[in-house]
């Protein structure tokens, strides 16, 4: 179930707001096979749950060449096994999600050919799943920047950097995870 509003309250601003509630039944589980044999497990449907929350986004044209935009999501989730479930993955199929995320972006057209984009994002912690091999992924805040030069109408050269605020950070909860590092890049895009 969802209800929301999307509109342009001012000529240079747009907003979107959504409240949601999702009710799930027969979610996938990993159950032992009723008859042992070639496959000791089968996909079952012995989990249920609900998600609910709020999502809001807005954009504001500060000038004809500069746009600020941002948004956030708040997410609540309650997942449980049905009576009699024999799920061996301990709710793993229900997923692990942060309970909030926030994004803010500035897109500035510095000249007819030069753009500067800056993005800031924050994610809440991702809790560890109950199954073995999972750990908490802590909340984090990161920033990205990109400078693009349209050499011609068909060619664009850009340089950028991602994850500027720390050397690296985890986003997944598996113990075998790789952490996302700070990175710098250059790109050439050609359209025809």
Alpha carbon 127 to its chain centroid, in Å, reads 15
What is the pTM for the complete model shown? 0.83
Helices H, strands E: what count in the chain? 0, 11
pLDDT at residue number 54: 98
Q: What per-residue confidence (pLDDT) applies to 96?
A: 84
Region class of 86: left (phi > 0), else alpha (psi between -120 and 50), else beta: alpha
C-alpha span between 65 and 130 (Å, rounded): 49
Pair type for strands 41-63 and 13-32: antiparallel
Buried b (16+ CB within 10 A) or exposed e, 150-182: beeeeebebebebbeeeeebbeebeeeeeebee
- Each of the 192 residues of the chain gets a pLDDT tens digit; together they read 999 999 999 999 999 999 999 999 998 888 888 776 778 887 888 899 999 999 999 999 999 999 999 999 999 999 999 998 888 887 777 778 999 999 999 999 999 999 999 999 999 999 888 777 889 999 999 999 999 999 999 999 999 999 999 999 998 888 888 899 999 999 999 998
CA distance 82 to 92: 14
pLDDT on residue 130: 79
- Please check whether residue 168 is in contact with residue 183, taking contact to mean a CB–CB distance below 8 angstroms: no
Scored b (16 or more CB within 10 A) or e, 43-60 reads ebebbbbebebebbbebe
Strands 66-81 and 100-109: antiparallel
Distances (CA, A) of 146 to 64, 106, 108, 166, 189: 19, 11, 10, 17, 14
């Amino acid at each position: 179930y969802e209800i929301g509003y999307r509109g342009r309250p001012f000529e240079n601003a747009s907003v979107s707001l959504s409240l949601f509630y999702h009710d799930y039944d027969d979610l996938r589980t990993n159950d032992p096979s009723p008859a042992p044999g070639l496959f000791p497990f089968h996909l079952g449907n012995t989990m249920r749950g609900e998600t609910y929350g709020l999502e809001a986004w807005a954009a504001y044209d500060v000038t004809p060449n500069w746009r600020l935009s941002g948004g956030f999501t708040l997410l609540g989730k309650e997942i449980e096994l049905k009576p009699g479930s024999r799920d061996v993955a301990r709710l793993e199929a229900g997923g692990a999600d942060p309970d909030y995320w926030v994004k803010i972006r500035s897109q500035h057209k510095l000249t007819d050919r030069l753009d500067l984009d800056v993005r800031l994002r924050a994610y809440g912690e991702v809790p560890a799943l109950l199954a073995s091999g999972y750990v908490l992924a802590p909340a984090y805040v990161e920033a990205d920047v990109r400078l693009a030069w349209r050499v011609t109408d068909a060619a664009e050269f850009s340089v950028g950097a991602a994850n500027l605020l720390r050397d690296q950070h985890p986003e997944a909860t598996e113990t075998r995870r790789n952490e996302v590092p700070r990175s710098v890049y250059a790109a050439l895009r050609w359209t025809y």
